[in-house]
Amino acid sequence: DGGITQSPKYLFRKEGQNVTLSCEQNLNHDAMYWYRQDPGQGLRLIYYSQIVNDFQKGDIAEGYSVSREKKESFPLTVTSAQKNPTAFYLCASSLQMNYGYTFGSGTRLTVV
């Protein structure tokens, strides 16, 4: 849907567990991004990747990890070190860093 797919749509995690959110794009975009969306706080950057095998921390990287082994895929792992992981997570991609974004449909993570 729109060339960038996030799964699952809803995810429930027990405290102390790591979970991985999937993001796949078939747009042949070089750059990919992860944002976290909380009510009233807009979108905050977690990690971004300009190119395969390279990624950079954003503003709120603590408790998260990523990998970029393939151009099409940019999975996000929410580790047990993330103290308040309940949020809506959005993945995005762009042709290159100086182009506009295409967003995925998001994953809503809830800690139970």
Partner 1 sequence: GENVEQHPSTLSVQEGDSAVIKCTYSDSASNYFPWYKQELGKRPQLIIDIRSNVGEKKDQRIAVTLNKTAKHFSLHITETQPEDSAVYFCAARMDTGRRALTFGSGTRLQVQP
Pick the closest to residue 55 from 95, 46, 63, 82 (CA basis).
46
Pick the closest to residue 37 from 6, 15, 69, 2 (CA basis).
6
How many residues of this chain interact with partner 1, rule: CB under 8 A?
Answer: 23
Distance CA 105, CA 2 (A): 9
Instruction: Name the token pair of 2.
Output: 């729109």
For 34, counting Cβ atoms within 10 Å of its Cβ (0-12 exposed, 13-18 middle, 19+ buried), the class is buried
Closer by beta carbon to partner 1, 50 or else 77? 50
Interface with partner 1 (CB under 8 A), residue from 7, 20, 26, 105: 105
Which of these segments, 14-22, 44-52, 62-70, 71-79, binds partner 1 (CB under 8 A)?
44-52
In the window 52-81, what residues touch partner 1 (CB under 8 A)? Answer: 56, 58-59
Which of these segments, 14-22, 37-45, 65-73, 79-87, binds partner 1 (CB under 8 A)?
37-45
Q: Given the structure tokens 């393939």, which residue do they identify?
A: 70
Closer by beta carbon to partner 1, 59 or else 62? 59
16 touches partner 1 by CB under 8 A: no
Strand partners, 17: none
Interface with partner 1 (CB under 8 A), residue from 11, 13, 67, 101: 101
